[in-house]
Amino acid sequence: MKKYLLAILVCASWGFISNEVTQGVVTYTTKVNMHKRIPPEEEEMKKMVPEFNSTQNQLFFNELESLFKPLPVDENPFDQSAGSGGGPRVIRMVMQNETYINRDNEMMTQLREFMGKKYIIKNETSRIPWKLGVESKEISGFVCKNATYTDENQREITAWYTEQIRLPIGPEGFHGLPGLILEVAVNSDEIVITADKIDLRGLKKNELKEPKGGEELTDEAYKAMVQTEMEKMGVQGGQGGMRMIIRN
């Protein structure tokens, strides 16, 4: 009887969370497999580049808006440089990219930093063609279900969302599932974004606001500009606004 009552209380408490949560902050770790981005003909580069690069971001949300932005540099738990014994030193540069979504007017505003300059890109939020799965697992104490889709770059995206927090939001620009997205995997483990901490609290003043202060460009114009500049430098663009400089 005691076990039965306990089960009822647990279910009731999760139901309360699901119905009442409207604000909070989620801290995510983004882990990028750098070796998977090195083409076979440049295999030697693996000796100069660490296999994984990790950064942390936070998702601030309320009942109608969300803002995904980097953790302040002085709070980032990951080293900003690596290398010892006279070997190459790798400097990770985390750009201050932000993604803001307003579900009321169905608009997305992105702040993108590139080559020391900031740009604002605004678009209507598009429907992501998620396919809901039947698998489940626990992330940071929340039961999650899986969903998948293939994006415009032919990358396989797998998301894990929890119905215990019924808000259709998530990290980066991922959204549109029947619950908060706590993990996203791109091409299996090339990029993995995982929720480490979920703080269900009221937001402080100015924690969640639409990004401003950059040159406004269309999405197409921004991508074309980045592609042109990267080709000039003879390098490939990276995910999440990060680049790496290797120095001896």
Task: State pLDDT tens for residues 19-43.
Answer: 577 899 999 999 998 888 777 778 7
Q: Over 80: is that where the pLDDT of 17 sits?
A: no
Percent of the chain with pLDDT over 90: 58
Domain boundaries, the chain: 2-247
The DSSP annotation for 124-179 comes to: EPPPP--EEEEEEEEETTEEEEEEEEE-TT--EEEEEEETTS-----STT---SSS
Q: In the predicted model, what is the mean pLDDT of the chain?
A: 82
**pLDDT of the residue at 243:** 39
Instruction: Name every residue whose Cβ is closer than 8 Å to that of residue 224 and which is 6 or more positions away in sequence.
Output: none
Our CA angle for 171, 175, 179, nearest 5°, is 95
**pLDDT of the residue at 63:** 94
Under DSSP, the state recorded for 108 is E
Instruction: List, edge to edge, every strand of the sheet that includes 81-82.
Output: 81-82, 89-94, 242-247
The H or E element spanning position 226 is: helix 219-233
Separation CA 35–CA 46 (nearest Å):
6
Separation CA 63–CA 69 (nearest Å):
18
Give the confidence band of 196 by pLDDT, cuts at 50, 70, 90.
very high
**pLDDT of the residue at 77:** 56
Q: Over 50: is that where the pLDDT of 248 sits?
A: no
For residues 81 and 43, the answer to whether their CB atoms sit within 8 Å is no
| Rg of the chain (C-alpha set) | 20
Between 231 and 120, the higher pLDDT residue: 120
Tokens of 225: 């500009």
Residue keyed to tokens 């998301």: 159
Q: Over 60: is that where the pLDDT of 10 sits?
A: no
Q: Over 70: is that where the pLDDT of 64 sits?
A: yes
Domain 2-247 is classified in which CATH homologous superfamily? Lipoprotein localisation LolA/LolB/LppX (2.50.20.10)
